[in-house]
Amino acid sequence: MTELLRPRSMGQARERVDGAAKVTGRARYAFEQPVERPAYVHPVQATIARGRVRTMHTGDAAALDGVLTVLTPDNAPLLATGHDPELEILQSPEVAFRGQLIGAVIAETPETARQAAGLVRADYERQPHDVTLSPERDDLYRPDVVNPSLPTDTGQGDVDAALRAAEHTVAATYTTAMYHNNPMEPHATVALWDEGGLTLHDSTQGVHAMREAVAPVLGLDKERIRVIARYVGGGFGSKGTAHAHIVLAALAAKRMPGRPVKLALTRQQMFSLAGYRTPTIQRVRLAADAAGRLTAIGNDVVEQTSRIKEFAEQTGVPARTTYAAPNRRTTHRLAALDVPVPSWMRAPGECPGMFGPEVAMDELAEDCGLDPVELRVRNEPETDPDTGLPFSSRDLVGCLHEGARRFGWQRRERAPRSRIEDGWWTGTGVASSTYPVHSAPGTSATVRLGRDGSFEVLIGAVDIGTGAWTILTQIAADALGVPAEDVHLHLGDTDLPQAPVAGGSSGTTNWGTAIVEAARSFREKYGADAGPGDELIATVPANPHSDRFAMRAFGAQFAEVRVHAATGEVRVPRLLGVFAAGRIVNPRTARSQFIGGMTMGLSMALHEDSVFDERFGFVVNHDLAEYHIAACADVESIEAQWLDEHDPYVNPMGTKGIGEIGIVGTAAAIANAAYHATGVRIRDLPVTADKFLD
Amino acid sequence: MEAEITLTVDGARRTLAVDTRVTLLDALRERLGVTSPKKGCGHGQCGACTVLLDGRRATTCLALAVAHDGARITTSAGLAGTDELHPLHQAFLDHDGFQCGYCTPGQICSAAGVLDEAERGWPSAVTANITDITDTAGAPALDAGEIRERMSGNLCRCGAYPNIVAAVAAVAEGRSR
Residues A267, A188 contacting (CB under 8 angstroms): no
What does the pLDDT average to over A680-684? 98
Would you call B157 and A182 a contact, using CB atoms and an 8 Å cutoff? Answer: yes
Q: Are A461 and A492 in contact (CB under 8 A)?
A: yes
* Chain B contact present for A37, CB below 8 A: no
Using the Cβ of A387 and the Cβ atoms of chain B, whether some distance falls under 8 Å is answered with no
Chain B CB contacts of A26 under 8 Å are 36, 77
Residue A655 backbone phi and psi in degrees, to 5 = -100, 155
Residue B152 contacts A where some CB pair is shorter than 8 Å: yes
What is each CA distance from A274 to A181, A340, A489, in whole angstroms?
A: 8, 9, 30
Predicted pLDDT of residue B87: 98
What DSSP designation does A185 have? S
Asked if the C-beta of A34 comes within 8 angstroms of chain B's C-beta atoms, the answer is yes
The full DSSP string for B151-165 is: TTTS--TT--HHHHH
pLDDT digits (tens, 9 = 90+) for A501-527: 999 999 999 999 999 999 999 999 999
Q: What pLDDT is stored for residue A107 in this prediction? A: 98
Q: Do B87-176 and B2-78 have the same topology in CATH? A: no
Q: Which residues of B touch A21 (CB under 8 A)?
A: 101
Contact residues, chain B, for A231 at CB < 8 Å: 101
- Tell me the DSSP string of A607-626: T----EETTTTEESS-STTT
Residue B92: pLDDT band (50, 70, 90) is: very high
B43 and A625 within 8 Å at the Cβ level: the answer is: yes
pLDDT at A528: 81
Pick from B75, B99, B164: CB nearest A465: B99
> Regarding predicted confidence, which is higher, A694 or A416?
A416
- pLDDT beyond 70 at A316: yes
**Residue A94: helix, strand or coil by DSSP?**
strand
What average pLDDT does the segment A661-678 reach? 98
Beta carbons of B101 and A34 less than 8 Å apart? no
Q: Which residues of chain A make contact with B38, given a CB cutoff of 8 A?
A: 25, 29, 184-185, 233
pLDDT of amino acid B137? 53
In the predicted model, what is the mean pLDDT of chain A?
Answer: 97
- Shortest Cα–Cα distance, B44 to chain A (Å): 9
**Is any Cβ of chain A less than 8 angstroms from the Cβ of B43?**
yes
Spell out which residues of chain B touch residue A466, defining contact as CB-CB under 8 Å. 99
Helices (H), A304-349: 317-321
Q: Tell me the residues of chain A between 602 and 621 that have a Cβ less than 8 Å away from chain B.
A: 603
Nearest to A400, CA basis, from A665, A670, A679 = A665
Gap from B70 CA to chain A (nearest CA, Å): 22
Task: Write down the mean pLDDT value for chain B.
Answer: 94
| A267 part of contact set with chain B, CB < 8 Å | yes
Question: For residues B94 and A637, what is the distance between their CA atoms, to the nearest angstrom?
Answer: 19
Residue A395 DSSP SS3 = coil
A70 in Cβ contact with A99 (< 8 Å)? no
Please tell me the distance in Å from B111's CA to the nearest CA on chain A: 12
Q: How do the domains of chain B map onto residue ranges?
A: 2-78, 87-176
A670/A661 Cα distance (integer angstroms): 16
Between CA A196 and CA A204, with CA A198 as vertex, the angle to 5 degrees is: 140
* Distance (Å) from the alpha carbon of B30 to chain A's nearest alpha carbon: 8
pLDDT at B135: 46
Q: Could you tell me which of A115, A120, A107 has the C-alpha nearest to residue A66?
A: A107
Residue B175: the pLDDT is 85
Distance from CA of A178 to the nearest CA of B (A): 17
Query: Is A600 at the interface with chain B, CB within 8 A?
Result: yes
Q: Which of residues 569-598 of A touch B (CB under 8 A)?
A: 588-589, 591-593, 595-598
Nearest to A623 among B36, B45, B105 (CB): B45
Q: Confirm whether A660 is a catalytic residue.
A: yes
Closest CA to A553 of A665, A415, A668: A665
Interface test with A, best of B43, B110, B161, B163 (most A CBs within 10 A): B161
DSSP state letters, A260-311: -EEEE--HHHHHHHS--BPPEEEEEEEEE-TTS-EEEEEEEEEEEEESSS--
Which member of A366, A517, A560, A660 is catalytic? Answer: A660
Is residue B138 over pLDDT 70?
A: no
The residues facing B57 across adjacent strands are: B52
| Contact with chain B for residue A637, Cβ under 8 A | yes
Q: A579 to chain B nearest CA, in Å?
A: 18
User: Is 60 exceeded by the pLDDT of residue A1?
Assistant: no
- C-beta atoms of A633 and B35 within 8 A: no
Question: Is the Cβ pair A32, B162 closer than 8 Å?
Answer: no
Closest residue of chain A to B79, computed from CA coordinates? A24
Query: Does residue A479 have a pLDDT over 50?
Result: yes
Note whether B65 contacts A: Cβ–Cβ < 8 A: no
Question: Is residue A63 over pLDDT 70?
Answer: yes
Mean pLDDT of A589-609: 98
Q: How far is A31 from chain B (nearest CA, A)?
A: 9
pLDDT tens for each residue of A604-621 = 999 999 999 999 999 999
ipTM: 0.97
* Subunit contact A25:B77, Cβ cutoff 8 A: yes
Q: Which of B23, B99, B142, B148 to mutate to test the interface with A (most CBs of A within 10 A)?
A: B99
| Domains defined along chain A, listed by start | 33-128+182-273 (3.30.365.10), 145-179+277-437+548-692 (3.30.365.10), 440-539 (3.30.365.10)
If you average pLDDT over residues A561-565, what whole number do you get? Answer: 98
Who's near A568: CB < 8 A, 6+ residues apart? A688, A689, A690, A691, A692, A693
Which of A25, A598, A632 lies at the smallest CB-CB distance from B152?
A632
User: Which residue in the set B103, B148, B157 is minimally distant from A633, CB to CB?
Assistant: B148
What SS3 class is residue A19?
A: helix
Phi, psi of B170 (to 5 degrees): -65, -40
Contacts across the A-B interface (CB distance below 8 Å): 183
A323 or B133: which carries more pLDDT confidence? Answer: A323
Q: Cβ–Cβ of A623/B41 closer than 8 Å? A: yes
B2-78: what CATH class? Answer: alpha beta
Q: Which residues of A touch B108 (CB under 8 A)?
A: 23
Interface with B, mutate which of A23, A204, A639 (most B CBs under 10 A): A23
Taking only the tens place, the pLDDT of each residue in A245-284 is 999 999 999 999 999 999 999 999 999 999 999 999 999 9
Q: Do B148 and A632 touch (CB under 8 A)?
A: yes
Q: Which among B33, B37, B163 has CB closest to A592?
A: B163
Tell me the C-alpha to C-alpha distance, in Å, between residue A309 and each of A87, A97, A107: 10, 11, 31
Alpha-carbon span B46 to B39, nearest angstrom: 9
Does A429 contact B at CB distance below 8 Å? no
- The set of residues, in sequence order, having a beta carbon less than 8 Å from that of A494 and lying 6+ positions away, is A207, A208, A211, A225, A226, A227, A228, A460
Sheet holding A94-95, edge to edge: A94-95, A51-57, A121-126
Residues 7-26, chain B: which have Cβ within 8 Å of A?
Answer: 19, 21-22, 26
Q: How far apart are CA B94 and CA B107, in angstroms?
A: 15
> Which architecture characterizes domain B87-176 according to CATH?
Orthogonal Bundle (1.10)
Residue B177 CB burial class (10 angstroms; 0-12, 13-18, ≥19)? exposed
